Amino acid sequence: MAERLAASLLPTSPSPPSPSARRAAAVAAFPSTRAGRLCLRSRPPRFPQKAATSGRAGAAMRVVRCMALAASDAAQLKSAREDIKELLKTTYCHPIMVRLGWHDSGTHDKNIKEWPQRGGADGSLRFDAELSHGANAGLVNALKLIQPIKDKYPGITYADLFQLASATAIEEAGGPKIPMKYGRVDVTAAEQCPPEGRLPDAGPRVPADHLREVFYRMGLGDKEIVALSGAHTLGRSRPDRSGWGKPETKYTKDGPGEPGGQSWTIEWLKFDNSYFKDIKEKRDQDLLVLPTDAALFDDPSFKVYAEKYAEDQEAFFKDYAEAHAKLSDLGAKFDPPEGFSLDDDKGADAPTDEKDADPAPAPVAAADEKKDAEVEPTPVPVSVATAAAAPVDDNNGAAAPQPEPFVAAKYSYAKQELSDTMKQKIRAEYEAIGGSPDKALQSNYFLNIMLLIGGLAFLTSLLGS
C-alpha cells in the first residue's frame, strides 16, 4: 500500500517536484486543514516499516512517512457541532450519541501506557472488530447518523467527533456545559481495537464491586461512578439490544423517535437529576432500574453521592461535567499534546478538588465472582437491596423499620433465555437445599403426618364441644 501511495505522489515528468508541489499533491489526496499537516499512516504504528529505498521512490516514501497523524481543525469542529445540534433536533438521538462517546473512551486501561493498546478515546469504535462487541449492540445506528457529518468535515478525527457529539447531546438536553478539549488522534486499523470485555455489565453478580473494577481500571473513582451513572436520565434500554428492559412502556410506546424500550426516567430526553430521585423513591415499575443502578443506593460510599445528587441538581451538574470531561479524555493521544478548546469551551482541563478525591480503590469481587461476570454476556435480573443498614431511632434506641427490599425483576427483565452458566448456578443453589430445577423439593413426610393428626384432633375437639 505504501509503495502505491508513494507512486501516486510522484510526478510523471522526469524533473523532481518542488516541495510546494509535493505538499499540494499530498493535501489533495489526503485533506486536512490543521496547520497543513496530513493524517496518514500506511499501517498500524506498532508494526515497524522497512527502510525506504534510495532514489526517487525513496524520497516519496520519506514524504509518506513524515505525514503526521494530524488532529482536528477547530473551525470544522465548530461547524460540525452546529450540524450535530440540528441532527439532535430532528432525530432525538441524544442518548445514543452519549453512548457512542462513552463506549469509545470507556475501554481505557490506566495500567497500560502504550497507545493505542491502552484503549480509550481514539476512534476505534468505527471498526467492525470493536463495533461487534456485545456491549456495543445498536451503536451501528449512531455511526450511520454521524458518518455524513464526518464526510462533510474531513478535517476532524472520529475520536473528536464521537466526543463532540456526546458532550453536545448532554448540553442540548438541558445538561451542564462540559469543559471539553479536542485534538484526539485516530487509530488507523482494526488491529488496534481494544479487546472485548472492558465495558461495564448491567447485571453482574456483585454490582458495586463490578462498577469499581471497571471504572477504577479506567482511573475513575466513586464520585465519578455515581455522577456518570446519572446520564441514565437520558435514553431507553431495549431488550433486543442489551437484553434488559421491557419492549415498551407508557412512556415510550409513542416515541419520540423509534417507539419502544424502557426508560429510566419519565422525561427520557431531558437531562436532570430525576434518575436519582426515581431510583430512591422506587415509585414506578414502568421505569427501568438495573442492578447496577440500585447499587448506587445500596453501597455506603456510592449512597453518599447518590443522596446528594437526588437533593441537589446543581451539585450533580457540577460533578457530572467534570466526570464527563475526564472520561472523554481517557487514553486519548492529543495533537497538540495539551489539546485545544473551542472558543466558548472555557477551561479545557477540569479542576480537581483534593478534598473530594476518592480513597484508594476498595477490593473488587472475588476471582470466582469476576469470572461469572465476564462469562455472563446477557445477565438475568438479580435482587439487590437498595438501602444501607437501618438508622437508629434517637428517641428510644430501637432500630427503624427496614425499607422494602429492592427486587430488580419488578422493574426490568432479560429477554433472552438463561445461559448455561446461569442455569448451572441456579441448579447449585437449589441442590444446596435438597432440590434441583428438575424436581420439586423433597417433602418432610413426618412433619406432614404430624400436622394432619393435629388438624384432625382440633376438628374432633370442635365437634365434641
Catalytic residue positions, numbered = 103
**Beta-sheet strands, E only, within 254-318:** 262-263
Residues in contact with 344: Cβ distance below 8 Å, sequence separation at least 6, in sequence order: none
Picking from 232, 242, 197, 206, the residue whose alpha carbon sits closest to that of residue 413 is: 242
Contact between residue 38 and residue 67 where contact means Cβ atoms under 8 Å apart:
yes
Backbone angles phi and psi of 340, in degrees to 5 = -150, 155
Burial class (CB in 10 A: 0-12, 13-18, 19+), 230: buried
Backbone angles phi and psi of 186, in degrees to 5 = -85, 145
- As a whole number of angstroms, the distance between CA 260 and CA 258 comes to 7
| Cell 464527563 found at | 324
Contact between residue 278 and residue 265 where contact means Cβ atoms under 8 Å apart:
yes
Grid coordinates representing 287 are 421505569
- As a whole number of angstroms, the distance between CA 232 and CA 275 comes to 7
| Cell 485545544 found at | 340
State the helix-helix crossing angle for 94-105 and 313-329, rounded to 10 degrees. Answer: 50
Q: Half-sphere exposure of 173 toward its Cβ, with a 13 Å CA cutoff?
A: 30
Residues in contact with 226: Cβ distance below 8 Å, sequence separation at least 6, in sequence order: 296, 302, 305, 306, 309
The CA-to-CA distance between both ends of the chain, in Å, stands at 103
SS3 23: helix
Grid coordinates representing 339 are 489539546
Return the amino acid letter for 428: A
Q: What angle do CA 407, 408, 414 make, to 5 degrees?
A: 140
DSSP structure class, residue 259:
-
Residues in contact with 74: Cβ distance below 8 Å, sequence separation at least 6, in sequence order: 34, 182, 340, 342
- As a whole number of angstroms, the distance between CA 24 and CA 260 comes to 51
